[in-house]
Structure 1
Amino acid sequence: MRIGLLGTGPWAERVHAPVLAEHPAYEFAGVWGRRPEAAAALGAAHGVPGHADLDRLLAEVDAVSIALPPTVQADLAVRAAEAGCHLLLDKPVALTVPDARRVVRATGAGGLASVVFFTVRFGGEQIPWIEKQAAVGGWFTGRSDWLGSVFAPDSTSPYAASAWRREKGALWDVGPHALSVLLPVLGDAAQVTAVAGPLDTVHLVLRHTGGASSTLALSLTAPLAGGGTGLELRGEAGVVHLPERGEGPVAALHRALDALADSVRTGVPHACDAVFGLRVVEILAAAEHSLTTGTAVTL
């Protein structure tokens, strides 16, 4: 498949562009960005054209890989789907439920494949672990800590300049990662309660349809010495922990693109398609509502 890249920021430059340039199932056909000069520069670095005209790029490709903020992703994803392009989406799919639903409708109307790039769901050790725990069942409770330090005082993160992360915080940035692992194992969320912690930190309590409960601690402002991630499940099978990630996002994106190609070939939706991405947005929106009202929200 011919594939184009939408986006020119650090995530596009460090992860998407190098993977698209070397993935054997795709022909990297071009880059579009909101800054034409950046699109030209990133394209030149990988021997493909940089486009100032998005419609021209969409007309030349079969799929797009989107590495843009969620504030603009939904509109561009719908535009790409209406042009007949399969979608590799970033998380979260959108920042509102109506926008996420528009993406789902557009992919469905076109009979198009979609995959949302939840990095943990495409980890080499994480994929079989998640599948195994979902099959085991009998889980009583889960706990997920995703304590990032993007905005800590001594942070050198390339994403510290991200305007949407500063506005929406950890709930919308790292919350999707935690949910992407908990939901396939414990079942869909039936109720969510959210409580604010220090700075952008948020604590969630979920009741799952399978009968289990889970807690999430999410932050982008944790001290560098106190940050880190981890996920624990407790149940009839004992206590298990999600394997630590021993590889970076490049390998995970290769697998996400494999998944998109398989979905295009077979016509079978992937578990992390736009529909799942919509469900994650619905849960995050409910958690945000819980934060503002101080009440539990039934989903």
Structure 2
Amino acid sequence: MRIGLLGTGPWARMVHAPALAAHDALELAGVWGRRPEAAKELAEQHGTRPYDDVDALLADVDAVAVALPPDVQSGLAVRAARAGRHLLLDKPLATTVTQGREVARAVRGAGVASVVFFTTRFQPEPEAWIAEQADRGGWFTARALWLGAVFTGDSPFADSPWRRTKGALWDVGPHALSVLLPVLGDVRRVATAVAGPGDTVQLVLDHERGASSTVTLSLTAPPAAAGVEVELRGEAGRALLPDAAEGAVAAFGRAADALRGAALGGGPHPCDAAFALRVTEILAEAEALLAGASQRA
């Protein structure tokens, strides 16, 4: 499978390009970016071709991986799907429901495969744990903490405009939902959404299988307080999400494997554009509650 990379920012340089260039079953056929000089530099680092024209890249590949802000990603994903190209996208799929629906509709209409890179879902230890807890069932409640220090520590993403605008809800919220939804079921409603210090958000979610969950999200946690915890409590007692043994590059390679499998007729992946759209809808509901509370304050 020939795959092109759209994007040249920190995430593309740190994760996408190394993973795709090293993949045994993929050929990294080219790089396009909004800054041609950055595309040229990244392409040269990985022995591939830079493209100035995104449509020229689309004409030369079977699939694209996208490492761009979500509002840019959504439009290019629609364009690529309509050109018949399989999609390896990043989270969030989009930051509006309308954009997300356009991507899911284009994927469905073109009959292309899609995988959205929710990192935890492609790390073996967490993914096995998620499957085990979903099969076990009987969960009464869950508590998820996804606390980052992007804006308080030394992060390459600290200057990301979309993260500064949309905050933790949209950056790490998708990760939390990608773990909770397969275990507890879809969210029937966002019962509560409360703003905390910085960009911190606290949610209470009502799930279709009868459980509730609380979610705390932040990119402004003190560095010493940053980390991820997911705890389930129910008939089986207590279960904690395990740490992953490998990082994002290895996980992205598995996401590429998943895309290739889906493209070769393996059926839709659980983390496809339709799932990512549902995550977008939940986040948009939470955002609307936060906006309403802000207006009343």
- Do they superpose with TM above 0.5? yes
- Counterpart of 1:212, as a letter, is A
Contact residue 178 and residue 216 of structure 1 kept, 8 A = yes
Contact residue 113 and residue 267 of structure 1 kept, 8 A = no
1:128 is the counterpart of 2:128: yes
1:175 is the counterpart of 2:187: no
Cα distance between partner residues in 2 of 1:228 and 1:21 = 30
- Counterpart of 1:272, as a letter, is C
- Counterpart of 1:171, as a letter, is L
Cα distance between partner residues in 2 of 1:254 and 1:40 = 23
Alignment correspondent of 1:271: 270
Alignment correspondent of 2:117: 117
RMSD value, Cα: 1.0
Alignment correspondent of 2:52: 52
Give unpaired runs (5+ residues) of structure 1: none
Give unpaired runs (5+ residues) of structure 2: none
Measure how far apart 1:293 and its partner are: 1.9
Measure how far apart 1:22 and its partner are: 1.1
Contact residue 148 and residue 228 of structure 1 kept, 8 A = yes
1:215 is the counterpart of 2:218: no
Alignment of 1:225-264 (within 5 A): 225-264=224-263
Alignment of 1:126-165 (within 5 A): 126-152=126-152, 155-165=153-163
Measure how far apart 1:71 and its partner are: 2.0
Cα distance between partner residues in 2 of 1:227 and 1:75 = 33
Alignment correspondent of 2:86: 86
Measure how far apart 1:267 and its partner are: 4.6
Measure how far apart 1:294 and its partner are: 3.5
- Counterpart of 1:180, as a letter, is S
- Counterpart of 1:182, as a letter, is L
Cα distance between partner residues in 1 of 2:104 and 2:5 = 20
Measure how far apart 1:213 and its partner are: 0.2
Alignment correspondent of 2:203: 204
SS in 1 for 2:140: strand
SS in 1 for 2:206: strand
1:194 is the counterpart of 2:200: no
Measure how far apart 1:265 and its partner are: 1.1
Q: TM-score with structure 1 length normalisation?
A: 0.97
> Stretches of 4+ moved more than 6 A in 1?
none
SS in 2 for 1:149: coil
Q: Cα deviation per residue 1:2-35 (whole Å; 9 max; x = unaligned)?
A: 0000000010011100111111121110000000
SS in 1 for 2:124: coil
Alignment correspondent of 1:77: 77
- Counterpart of 2:215, as a letter, is L
Cα distance between partner residues in 1 of 2:160 and 2:283 = 19
Alignment correspondent of 1:43: 43
Cα distance between partner residues in 1 of 2:143 and 2:57 = 43
Q: Cα deviation per residue 1:223-276 (whole Å; 9 max; x = unaligned)?
A: 111111110000001100000122210110011111111111125100000000
Measure how far apart 1:127 and its partner are: 1.2
Contact residue 134 and residue 185 of structure 1 kept, 8 A = yes
Cα distance between partner residues in 1 of 2:22 and 2:121 = 21
Cα distance between partner residues in 2 of 1:246 and 1:293 = 41
Q: TM-score with structure 2 length normalisation?
A: 0.97
Q: Cα deviation per residue 1:179-237 (whole Å; 9 max; x = unaligned)?
A: 00000000000010200111100000000000000000000000111111110000001
Contact residue 78 and residue 102 of structure 1 kept, 8 A = yes
Cα distance between partner residues in 2 of 1:219 and 1:21 = 32
- Counterpart of 1:23, as a letter, is H
